[in-house]
Amino acid sequence: MKNILLEGLNPSKILVLGFALVIFIGAFLLTLPIATANGVSLSFLDALFTATSATCVTGLVVVDTGNTFSMFGEIVILVLIQIGGLGFMTFATFLFTLLGKKISLKERILLKEAYNATSTAGMVKLVKRILLFTVIVEGIGAFLLAMRFAFDMPFGEAMYFGIFHSVSIFNNAGFDIFGDFNSLTGYVDDPFVVLTICALIIIGGLGFVVINELYEYRETRKLSLHSKVVLTMTIILIAGASILIFLFEYGNDKTLGPLNLGGKILGAVFHGVSPRTAGANTLSMGDLTYATLFLTIFLMFIGGGSGSTAGGIKVTTFAVLMATVVSQLKGKEDVVLFKRRIVEETILKSMTVAVSGMMIVITVTFLLSITEHGHEFMMYLFEATSAFGTVGLSMGLTPELSSFGRILIIITMFIGRLGPLTLGFAITKKQTKEAYKRPKGNMMIG
């Protein structure tokens, strides 16, 4: 591992280069004739798009996964999803631990950066728990889904489908192999499938630090401020979104309208959970009302928890921003969450992440509206937000993207997975602390 930690490369640069290397290796493998069902090599751009989408756990596809790729190609995609969801440093740490090599301080700092943790303490122990927890959750998810799919297909195929979709959904990737871009529309009112997948999405989107604290709660009897905020915001967003989608789509004959009350509730709950960067859908995205589409864009932009398999600006960022707004409106000096004062550095980081994310989405939407013709503006905004939030939901624009549009979405997915701050730190030079402070300035705001 020390060989890759080259002199002059900070943790952010290593993460960026590591993800890029995994993507290009995956793209090369997907261009091989053995990777496609018909034995015809996939174009490098389409392979690169698919590899990026898988590694960045997005789920946007320019070719249908189930019909285009052979089992070899699907396994390559599955491996990329697993590496992208947990982070290549997690696998590297596990490998070197098995080989008996000591994890140095530099590697621990890199792990801290990868999981957005606040300390290097206990990082190796956390990685081991993450891997064990992932195997257990994905295994349970695969078993449950396979048992249900076995009613619709041969048992061996059902097991394969169960494993693929459990890994994909837990890592919030959104890839499916049902074919014809159908995703899970055939199971819209199936409580077994819907609730199993919702559980995988939520667990994967909480963040491993939160899951670790929940595991240790029986001994510590306490949760950090981070975990409290993530859990609270997750409940509020899912509950609020599910209720609103139920109301917005209740009379829509193309979505929830034809379903009974139970089916309507399941459909609403699924689409209240999925935009938290999972990318699976049980309702046709193109048939949703504009109110639901706009709400979905909002949810995709926020995403899940920090250090999780989810993307977006993260629920903690959104919580800090809302708390800052409330504090300013009340004329208070401090920003407070759960009776704790939020430090200024956290507030500034939250603003940087949110504003950077908004600028990226706006820029990509603008460029798509220029290069991709003949579509509604909502489709451009939806596609840009889905790519940045590494969600994978689409209104149908992805397969029709031009070469420039595909490259643009590839870059957006990459930025969205690593985060604006990580990329910013990787690109900019390390700033030395100034020996003096500049004079204060003031201006009118609002």
Write the pLDDT tens digit of every residue in 327-345.
999 988 899 999 899 999 9
In this prediction, residue 316 has a pLDDT band, given cuts at 50, 70 and 90, of very high
Write the pLDDT tens digit of every residue in 123-174.
667 777 888 888 999 999 999 999 999 998 999 999 999 999 999 999 888 8
Quick check: is 444 in a domain?
no
In terms of Cβ atoms closer than 10 Å to its own Cβ (0-12, 13-18, 19+), residue 179 is: exposed
Quick check: is 309 in a domain?
yes
Quick check: is 255 in a domain?
yes
Quick check: is 79 in a domain?
yes
Tokens read off for 48: 């690169």
As for how many domains the chain has, the answer is 1
340 φ, ψ (degrees, to nearest 5): -125, 135
- What DSSP string describes 360-378? HHHHHHHHHHHHS-SS-HH
| Nearest CA among 208, 212, 211, 3 for reference residue 96 | 3
pTM, 2 dp: 0.89
In this prediction, residue 4 has a pLDDT band, given cuts at 50, 70 and 90, of very low
Quick check: is 95 in a domain?
yes
Quick check: is 6 in a domain?
no
| Nearest CA among 317, 175, 307 for reference residue 237 | 317
Quick check: is 320 in a domain?
yes
Q: Cα angle vertex 341, ends 340, 344, to 5°?
A: 145
From CA 188, how far away is CA 363, in angstroms rounded? Answer: 34
Quick check: is 1 in a domain?
no
The residue with tokens 């595909």 is 406
336 φ, ψ (degrees, to nearest 5): -125, 135
Q: What is the residue range of 86's domain?
A: 11-426
